[in-house]
Structure 1
Amino acid sequence: MEWVGLALLLAVGAGILLTGLPAFVVLVMAASVGTAIGLASGVFSLALLGALPGRLINLFESDLLQALPLYVTMGLLLDRLPVADALYRASMAILPRRPSSPMVSGMLLGALLGPMNGSVGASVLGLARVVAPRLAAEGVPAARREALVAVASTLGVLVPPSLVLILLSDALLNAHTFAVTQTGRSDRVVNTQDVFHAALLPAGLFLVLCLALAWFGGRGATSLPRREKLTRGQGLLAGFSLLALLLLLGGVATGYFYAVEAAAVGAFALLTAGIVTGRLRGPAMRSLLRDAMAVTGALFSLLLAATTFTLILRLLGTDRLVGNLVSSIPGGDIPVTAVVLAVIGLCAFVLDAFEIIFVILPIVLPPLLVRVADVRWVAVLVLLTLQSSFLLPPFGYALMMVRGALKPAAPFRPFVRALAPFLLAQWLLLALVLLLPRLVHTLDKDTDITRAPTQAVSKEEIDKRLNDMIALPPAEPEPSSGRR
């Protein structure tokens, strides 16, 4: 019955791609089919399903999930308030008057707002509303506009402290705990800050490459961009917004405060600004809250459905099958990691980042981390793979979102040619991190980054070591209780 679970996974991908139903609906349907097959074949009993309520309750006890509705609210506020427009105008006023300045400004805006938007889809919509029309007004070809919006919208996948990194950290924590338990290694289980620190240098390198490509890509334009004139109010808004964003992003990425705290402060500040300026009163406020609840509800529904589905897969034995397949891959850390990354990349053609984190990673990461001890390295490689897959023609998630949001869409071949330099930079960085794991350990606070002994320690050995450490003194004779 182990292969039934893999068939259900393929059915989930096909259902999401072909039916247009929400992912959580498809997952619940697949879980129901798997439950019926398992009960009918006697693989598991109805009593084992009693573990599901406890799993769901433990799920909502995670502190990291508090950040989810806050990030969603921040993304919606950034779309409704003139923050993005003010930041773009300010960057155009600061940069030299060159043909490539609009593209550089668009890329910088994506790097600033991407981690706060919470998802690739939200970043695409925001950049399509703010950046794309201005690039068109400056005479940037449609293919280059679409390529820039697509690449900039995926920066939030890699740049800390995005919602994707937070949820990936939670998945890694569970998978790493399983791996440590199975192998008996003495590793310290990774946390969110470890993943943030590991992603900082690769994210910075990719951002520098993207800015350089945007700068050189716009040098062929014949006309100079118009000089932006900022009003006093726009300048103050841009300066305050930039300072707040840098403080929040930098504070979380460097560990001065938690992502939940940063999300709460950011959402409160934006909400207060919207109320004070009169942009969030009456119908606008009701629309904001309604949309925030709808998106948050959809994400939590996806999380609940994915938890149910992965439980059914475990009851069917699919996790053991995947573990055996991963353990049978020949070679060391790099070959086995490359194979798992290829599987994740294929899934990214059909699933978005949240669906991959909730459904695919809980299945493939535990057996991978049993063989590969460097969890930070695996985390950054997964992020780079997701980002690259979202940009890979013809079915990359970000590409389809951009070509749907920007009408009329550019011809496909010029679009791919405009995207090619960014893809090459992405693959170059992925290869560098794959071959040079030290790139993700530049900010490590501990030195435990290598493989610990993998031989499990038996209970008898643990008892013996404890007895050796705690040498009990010899027993003294009890004093006589008789009277002299």
Structure 2
Amino acid sequence: MADGAGHGVAGLAGCDGRRGHSVVSALGLAMFALALAGIVLSGLPVYAVLLAVSAVFAALGVALGSVDASLLTALPFRIVGLLEHDLLQALPLYAFIGALLNRLPLAHTLHRVGTHLVRRSRVAPRLSAIGVAALLAPMNGSVGASLHMLSRSVAPAMRRAGTSAQETAATVCVASTLGVVIPPSLVLLLLGDAMMRAHTEAVNATHAAVRIVNTQDVVRAAFVPGVLVLLATLAVCWWRGRASTARESIQDAPTLQERWTGAIVTAAILALLAGVAVGWLYAVEAAATGGVVLLVVSVLRRQLPGSLLRMVLSDTMALTGALFALLVAATTFSLVLRGFGTDRLITDALQSLATHPTALLLSVLGGMALCSFVLDAFEMIFLVIPLVMPPVLMSVGDAAWVAALVLLVLQLGFLLPPVGYALVMSRSVLAEPVGMKALMRSLWPQWLAQALLIAAVLAWPSITRLTRPDEHALSGGAPDAAEIERRMEEAIKAQQAPQ
């Protein structure tokens, strides 16, 4: 009886402990919900909201004894360790390139040259806008930066060519998201780094004997889907142009100097992007080279006076500061969440679907699509990926395939009404904002094409392995019977060989 009573008391204590842990973890969920509400309703920068919410809940957790105060002392070392990463060292260089593209008429020049090249098409200005975005968006870094560049340089040219305000807005919205999926954009490189950390955490938890995914794997996995997105976007533009009764006019042919500028800039950017994609160049080297090339071309063409250079440097510092502030805020926020044990709560909830990996992956991708209504790509990478990806990668072996799906879902999420990030941003940056219903009428073929592409990549993961030579090592699958037998025979022969 005494033993039974003792076990009963221990069981009640264990239940109470689990219940208390659940309550503490629920505080972290409330913290996450409050942060999202603050981002949507306050109008403050995301980093300011995250830091404020983190400070309030950290103080509350320490006061309640739920968060160990010593955990917070690790924050400075964690931030310094992150800032030493080479990808983050490349971030100011990417910001410099984006500022140059926003302030200089290079995008306008490239659009004029591209429009002239496809002048026989009924929708040449739209096709050229997609091409310019595909070329420059990976160097711009984010959806917001691409929107600002396209709205300033490409959208006015499209309107002068006779493109309707509705089609101009739709084209700019879609074009601004191409930098999310076309490698090797900064978004893709940072996601690759985040996936490597998440995969490392998953492998440490499961003790699986697999190779950890790296950024190069993610770049290769995203290459074919990125190309397919670009081709689908061009096909949708051409198809919608067939239904148009008016032919969009072609402006004056570009000058010889503009043609040479377009050719040199295009060749340089393609060479740099290809170098990063195949692993010949590091992101820092490519960004530095691209910045120098753009700077030299601008100086030679006398397009960069001192006043404009000061504005470019000011924009670079502002964007770099905002992104690093976001990184610090997201790191602080995630540390406090882990202090509450919310990461374990999320892991336990997702692992309840571990026996159904496809359902687990779909639920996470759906949640990320919803988060994309509120968060930009960088915010998703810094804040959401570290929480949800480790439990997914414990059940799904191919981390690079998952990363490619994440990129496709994020890009589509930015285009979905009513609060898709690209749609909302376009209404504030375009000179002629377009109503949501009008945008939806223009965007539905794009949604359909990208949804079909996501379904295809989900059904046939081999699409992402076409450019990955080490498919088997990355998939994490165990060797088949023939491979095991071959290895055993080799081991026996090695033992029988004379010493």
- TM-score normalised by L of structure 2: 0.88
Partner Cα distance (1:296, 1:157) in 2: 18
Note the 1:169-248 alignment, pairs <5 A.
Answer: 169-219=192-242, 220-226=244-250, 228-248=252-272
Partners of 1:124 and 1:153 within 8 A in 2:
yes
Partner Cα distance (2:429, 2:245) in 1: 25
Q: 1:46 to 1:135 in 2, by over 3 A?
A: same
TM-superposed deviation, 1:17: 0.7
The question of 1:431 aligning with 2:455 is answered: yes
Q: Which moved more, 1:234-243 or 1:94-103?
A: 94-103
Partners of 1:97 and 1:227 within 8 A in 2:
no
Partner letter of residue 188 of structure 1? R
Q: 1:44 aligns with which of 63, 67, 82?
A: 67
Percent same amino acid among aligned pairs?
Answer: 46
Partner Cα distance (2:316, 2:245) in 1: 40
Q: 1:453 to 1:29 in 2, by over 3 A?
A: farther
Q: 2:117 aligns with which of 94, 99, 110?
A: 94
| 2:172 corresponding residue in structure 1 | 149
TM-superposed deviation, 1:412: 2.6
Partner Cα distance (1:25, 1:102) in 2: 40
User: Could you report, residue by residue, the CA deviation over 1:261-314 in whole angstroms, capped at 9, with x for unpaired residues?
Assistant: 111100111122223333323221111111101110110011011111111111
TM-superposed deviation, 1:224: 4.8
User: Could you report, residue by residue, the CA deviation over 1:111-167 in whole angstroms, capped at 9, with x for unpaired residues?
Assistant: 111101111111111111222122222222221111111001000000011110111
Partner letter of residue 171 of structure 1? A
TM-superposed deviation, 1:365: 0.9
Partner Cα distance (2:53, 2:80) in 1: 22
Partner Cα distance (1:408, 1:48) in 2: 50
| 1:354 corresponding residue in structure 2 | 378
Q: 1:411 aligns with which of 432, 435, 444?
A: 435
TM-superposed deviation, 1:227: 5.1
Q: 1:35 aligns with which of 50, 55, 58?
A: 58
Q: 1:372 aligns with which of 378, 387, 396?
A: 396
Partner letter of residue 66 of structure 1? Q
Partner letter of residue 343 of structure 1? G
Partners of 1:98 and 1:225 within 8 A in 2:
no
Partners of 1:92 and 1:228 within 8 A in 2:
no
SS at match of 1:226: coil
| 1:57 corresponding residue in structure 2 | 80
Q: 1:305 aligns with which of 329, 334, 346?
A: 329
Partner Cα distance (2:380, 2:221) in 1: 20
- Structure having the higher helix fraction is 2
Q: 1:449 aligns with which of 470, 474, 479?
A: 474
| 1:283 corresponding residue in structure 2 | 307
Partner letter of residue 349 of structure 1? F
Q: 2:276 aligns with which of 247, 252, 265?
A: 252
SS at match of 1:99: coil
Note the 1:459-470 alignment, pairs <5 A.
Answer: none
The question of 1:137 aligning with 2:160 is answered: yes
Structure 1, unaligned runs of 5 or more = 455-470, 472-484
Partner letter of residue 216 of structure 1? W
Partner Cα distance (1:415, 1:48) in 2: 48
Partners of 2:123 and 2:247 within 8 A in 1:
no
Partner Cα distance (1:407, 1:85) in 2: 16
Aligned residues: 455
Partner Cα distance (2:70, 2:439) in 1: 54
SS at match of 1:92: helix
Partner letter of residue 474 of structure 2? I
Structure 2, unaligned runs of 5 or more = 1-23, 480-494
Q: Which moved more, 1:227-236 or 1:29-38?
A: 227-236
Partner Cα distance (1:325, 1:45) in 2: 24
Partner Cα distance (2:221, 2:336) in 1: 33
- For the aligned residue pairs, the C-alpha RMSD in angstroms reads 1.6
Q: Which runs of 4+ in 1 moved over 4 A?
A: none
Partner letter of residue 252 of structure 1? V
Q: 1:387 aligns with which of 411, 417, 420?
A: 411
Partners of 1:87 and 1:109 within 8 A in 2:
yes
- TM-score normalised by L of structure 1: 0.91
Partner Cα distance (1:349, 1:223) in 2: 35
Partner Cα distance (2:380, 2:400) in 1: 18
Q: Which moved more, 1:258-267 or 1:149-158?
A: 258-267
Partner Cα distance (1:98, 1:434) in 2: 34
